[in-house]
Chain A
């Protein structure tokens, strides 16, 4: 099973600033990585797949990068609606599909 590790667990950012979230895989997942956003009381929402391709309707301030074992989700100019928990998920080698533990982006 591929273990996904996200850091930091919590990220405090001021509105308008940039947030950089990291996701590491225990072995290479190539570019087979997705990112999700989850707000309290809501289901997750797909942001990114293929490590860097934005899903339909996702604003350009969200960008993904990386390959192999190291990945980054960058959120430029944080908006109030961006404060949430973010999860990465690998789909290179499954079952099982595996998620990282999440990064909470909170208001500084």
Chain B
């Protein structure tokens, strides 16, 4: 079955960078679009970014555009999110999710806390 495992979260100071990873298994990773979705503590879901099956196309939420970069390594079945210039409002659990227009499988998430 589909298995998605995020890693790389932690506490980081405002303005610094962090890279999240999502290891995928149980499906043909290289044939599927992949997303990052986040959830601030006690809040709802916010879509962050998507990459196409081959990484040739990517789109971002306005709130992260120019600061975050989504990428993938299909040889390693791994999705990434490079987060630069982090802000307090980026504090959230970050989920990777498999899917095209909707999210049919989710990882357990990794917590990113931006605080001085």
A residues contacting B by CB (< 8 A) are: 32, 34, 36, 38, 42-46, 49, 55, 87, 89, 91, 94-102
Contacts and interface: CB of A to CB of B under 8 A. Distances in A.
23 contacts: A32-B101, A34-B102, A36-B103, A43-B95, A43-B107, A43-B109, A44-B106, A45-B106, A46-B102, A46-B103, A49-B104, A55-B104, A87-B45, A89-B102, A94-B59, A95-B47, A95-B59, A95-B60, A96-B59, A97-B47, A101-B44, A102-B44, A102-B45
Interface of B: 35, 44-47, 50, 59-62, 95, 101-109
Nearest to A101: B44
Contact of A46 (B44, B61, B62, B104): B104
**Taking chain A's interface residues, is the majority helix, strand, or loop, or is none over half, making it mixed?**
loop
Contacts of A89: 45, 102-103
Contacts of A36: 45, 103
B103 A44 contact: yes
Contacts of A43: 95, 106-109
Given A32-B101, A44-B103, A55-B104, A99 B61 contact: no
